[in-house]
Structure 1
C-alpha cells in the first residue's frame, strides 16, 4: 500500500497545485466581497497566455527564461480578464454571478479563436515545460524526502510559498484585516476612511493573477499543450473554496482531497488493486463528499457576510 501511495503522490501534487493557487485566488476575491464564479475562465486565460508566449520564445530564449516569461504572461492575462469582472461587479454593480459566468464563456470562446488564428488547429503545444528535480539534502530524508523533495517541480514550492504568504497577509497584517472587513461590513470600513472599491479591485485582480498562474502551472507541469480546456479545474477550485470554508488551511486540505481522488481515477485502471473499481466512482466521490459536508455544515458556513453584495 505504501509503495502504491508513494508512486501516485507526485501526480497528486502535480494535479493539486494548479487547483490550490486558483482556489487561493478565489479566496482573495470573495474575502473582499466579490463573488467570483469566473475562476475557470481566468485559469483558461492564463493557460492560453502562457502557451502563446512560450510558443513565441522557446526557440529564442533559454528554457528557464521562456518558462518564467510564460508564467508571467499567464498572470497578466488572468489579471486582464479579471479586470473585466471587477469593472462590471464593482464599478457598474452588475450581478456578480452573471458577470463570472460571462467571463467563463468569453475566455472559452476567445482563447480558442485566437489559438486557431495562430496555429490553425486551436492547440498550442510547447516543447518543454518545467523539469522535475531532486532538492539537494532534503530529498535524502527518509520517507518524507521521497514524497515531497524528490522529482518535484519548482512551481510547487512557488505556489506553497504564495499560500503561506497569503495566510500571513490575510490574518497577520492590517491590510489583510481591511480586505476581510470589506467582505464582512463594507459600510463600517468606508466610515473608517478606507476605500472599499479599491480594496475589492485588489481582491479581484489578485484572483486573476493567481488563477492565471494556475493555468500556466498546469501547462508547464503536466499538460504541455493548450487545448482550449482546463478540464473543469476552475470549477473544482470553487468547490474547494466552499468546502474549505473560505480559509487558507481549509483550501489546502480540500484541494489535496480533490487532487488525490482525481489522480486515483486517472491511474486506477493501471493498478491491479484498483482496476476492479469503476473509474467513475473515484471521479464523483469528492463531489459527493462535498455535497454531504455542505448539507451538514450549512448552518455553520463561514462565507463572508457581504460576499456578492454590490457596494
Structure 2
C-alpha cells in the first residue's frame, strides 16, 4: 500500500431514498363494478448501510467519491400490490472504522467485525394505500398516504487501525526500518524526521505459518497529546493495538527519559493506553560493544521499573527472531 493511498479520515454525504406513495385505486373487474378500495402500499426508501470488510485497510474508496444516494421506493399499485423497496446502498469499510456525526462530532457507531452491517441513514417509509382507510362510514376512500422523504446527512468516517502490535517512538527511531525487516511491508525510509506521515501495516510471519499484524505509527513528538505536530492524527491509531512496542535508538542521549516522555504522551491522550502490555526495544544496538551494553542494562533495570526490554538491530538482523518470539508470547499469553 503506498502512503498516498492510506486514507483514514474522510467526510461523506449520505442520502436515503424516499418512500413510495400509497395507491388510490378502486377494484374493478367484469361483473364487479364496485369492488371497493384496493390501492397497495408504497415501498420503503433505500437505506444507507455501513458494512465491515476485513480485506480493506484504508478508506481510500471514499477519497474521490463522497456522495452516496439510495434508491426511492416504488409506488403502490392496484390489487393491494406493495411497491418495491428502494435499492439499499452498502458502504464497505475496514474493521476499526468509526462513524461520527459531522456537526456534533459524536460517535454514532463503529464497525469491528467482518460482515457486520449497521444502518446509518434509514429510508423513508412507504405511504399506505387507500384500502387501509376503508370503514363502515367511508367505504370508498379516495385518498392514500404519500411516502415519507428520505434523509440527507453528513458524517465523518474515521479509521483506527486494528493491529496486534503498535510501534511507538520518536521520529527517526528506526520504526520503518524494523517494519521493513520484520514484515514484507515497504515503508518509505530516509534519515530525517517525519519520513512516515501515514501509518504503515505489515504482517509478521511467525513459526508454523502463524502471523500477526504490526503497525508503524508516525513518530511521536513531545506535546503530541495536545495536538502538536501530527498530534491526535496518529495517536488514535495506537488505541486499537493489543501490545505497544516502544522503539528507542541506542544512540539516544537518555533512553529512560525518552521512554518516560513517550509514556507521558500516551497517558495524557488516553490513560487506558497504559493498561496495554509494553515492550521496549533498543534499536541500532549493533553500534554497542558488550561492555557498553552491560552498563546500559544496569541503568535500564533500575529506570524502566520492571518493563521488559531487549536490544535489537534491524540492519544487522540482531535479536529480530527473539523480538518475534517475545511479541508472540505477549499476544498469546
TM-score when normalising by structure 1: 0.19
- Which has a greater percent of helix? 1
Give the TM-score taking structure 2 as reference length. 0.19
The structure whose Rg is larger is: 2
More strand per residue: 1 or 2?
2
Higher relative contact order structure (alpha carbons within 8 Å, sequence separation ≥ 6)? 1
